[in-house]
Chain A
Amino acid sequence: MALSQSPPAFFRQGLSARIKLAIALTAAVAVMQLDRRFEIASPLRLGVSVILYPVSEALLLPRDFAYWAGERLQSVSQLANEVERLRDQETSNAQSLLLANQLRSDNENLRNLLNLKSSAFPESKAGEIRASLKDGLARKVLINLGHDQGLSVGDPVINSDGVVGQVSRVFPLTAEIRLLSDEQLFVPIFLPRSGVRGITQGNGQADEFRVRYVNLAAELEEGDTIVTSGLDGLYPAGLAVGRVSVVVPAAQGQFPTVIAIPTASVARYKEVLVILRNGGTGPAGLASSAPPAPVASGSSPASSANPSTPEAAIQRP
């Protein structure tokens, strides 16, 4: 039974419900087309998101308070352990930092000698993951950096363990990150042990990704490390991406199915680093096409000097 006591209008009933539905559906499809094909809908999105920003931030406050309280209540021994672990890490990092600085200056000198374009080290901004977007089909998170901090769409995002994802949408104070496990994110990668190149594609659901278009003849094993190849000019070469977890050998005329787990766990650390492409003079990986062999994985220089592209893989028996 309807709530309203006033009787419905007798003569002026307006459009019929079916026509209204048709109008609403047409308008919805039109907005979708505008959002997808043209940039006309982005001011609309921007405006609504700016209005929503204080509300969604306020709704995160109780959770942030719980986190804060939990951190305060951590026991002293846990903190001492953490400090000790971080000190150890800092000591070992200091050594590699020293080495890296030395190598960088060497590299710069050599590049100057050869009159090559110097590969500038890109600027970066540290931020924090605020929330994950409620979208069952996409794997995206929101961080507390935005256009005001110099972010732009396409910037790579890393944390201390490796590649996290890529900036997919930028708002004034926040940005949306597409995680490595999202089905729409592709990262060109390189497997140092076998010297194979490929492209990652997220699985959508679980915290894992597939490695696609790998060499048919490649001998991949579980536990192989995966690093960025830098071929796209976005991600600096040699960043840790993941570890191979499942290898299903290729059927006739098909690529093998390779499943891998990202090294950078978003669930564990909130802190991320956004590499600004507009900040530096250019991406580091762009100038050098051959990826430098990572020191830690101990790959032979021959494997990186002889990359096998998918085309080469198809020609090979």
Chain B
Amino acid sequence: MRPPTIIGRAPSLRFIAGTMAAALVFNFLPWAPNWPVPDMLAIVLVFWNIFLPSRIGLAPAWLLGLVMDVHQGVLLGQHALAYSILSYGAITLHRRIPDFQAWGQVAHLYPLFLVSLASVFAVRWMVEGLGPDSSLFIQPAAEALLWVFISRMIQLVLQRKSRPGRMRARKPVSPVKT
């Protein structure tokens, strides 16, 4: 069964940039280094690449990956690589994902996040000789589960924005007091 789809105006560039900035801020929060905190930027990039594949492509993913590399103080380019793979996967899956229920979406996205994180660990292993840790399997699971939640949230916001009654529901302009 096809879930209700969003029919409305394409979201503004400002809204898209706003979600990405919020995700970036989430990633910049001082998390403990060993927690498998989900990468919010990856989640948001996958969302936009699934729902707007023609507008968001690999370029923003690549550039934001570079920003993450600088912030984490790691070898430049590894997050750019991971986010590029992620975005490509999301674009490939963009026709399938919306047709699935929550668990079906998780089942699709877990391998995608896993491959993307594995590419980061592969780079670390090849360049620095560091083996992967347990977060390799836990973090993608957290990301896939959170993706379902985040995508519902963004869709909710977009539906609110595009509801026809919204204009009328707005408060009338108060008359100027004299």
Q: Identify the A interface with B (CB < 8 A).
A: 1-6, 8, 17-18, 20-21, 23-25, 27-32, 34-36, 41, 44-45, 48-49, 52, 55-56, 59-60, 63, 131-140, 142, 169, 176, 183-184, 204-205
Contacts and interface: CB of A to CB of B under 8 A. Distances in A.
Interface residues of B, number: 60
Contacts of A28: 62, 65, 77-78, 80-81, 84
A134 B65 CA distance: 15
Contact of B62 (A2, A27, A169): A27
Nearest to B125: A137
Contacts of B164: none
B130 A183 contact: yes
Nearest to A55: B28
Contacts of B57: 20
B66 A48 contact: yes
A246 to B, nearest CB: 21
Contact of B10 (A5, A36, A138, A140): A5
Given A2-B94, A138-B74, 12 more contacts: A2-B54, A3-B10, A6-B10, A52-B70, A55-B28, A131-B30, A135-B74, A137-B124, A138-B130, A183-B128, A183-B130, A204-B130
Contacts of A142: 73
A136 B121 CA distance: 10
A25 B75 CA distance: 15
Interface stretch (B32-40, B102-110, B141-149, B167-175): B32-40
Contacts, number: 146
A134 B76 contact: no
A32 B77 contact: yes
A139 B128 CA distance: 13
Interface in B3-22: 5-11
Interface in B113-140: 121, 123-124, 127-128, 130, 132-133, 135
B73 A24 contact: no
B153 interface: no
B55 to A, nearest CB: 6
A137 B121 CA distance: 9
Contact of A137 (B80, B81, B130): B130
Contacts of A138: 73-74, 130
Contacts of B124: 137
A32 B52 contact: no
A24 to B, nearest CB: 4
B91 interface: yes
A35 B34 contact: no
25 contacts: A1-B2, A2-B94, A3-B10, A4-B10, A5-B8, A17-B88, A20-B57, A21-B58, A25-B84, A27-B62, A28-B84, A32-B81, A34-B76, A44-B66, A49-B70, A52-B67, A56-B71, A132-B32, A134-B31, A135-B33, A136-B36, A136-B133, A137-B124, A137-B130, A176-B73
Contact of A1 (B30, B58, B98): B98
A48 B70 CA distance: 7
Contacts of B29: 59
A313 to B, nearest CB: 25
Contacts of A139: 33
Contacts of A4: 10, 52, 54-55
B14 to A, nearest CB: 15
A44 B71 contact: no
Contacts of B58: 17, 20-21, 23-24
Contacts of A55: 25, 28
Contacts of A204: 130
Contacts of B92: 17
Nearest to B121: A137
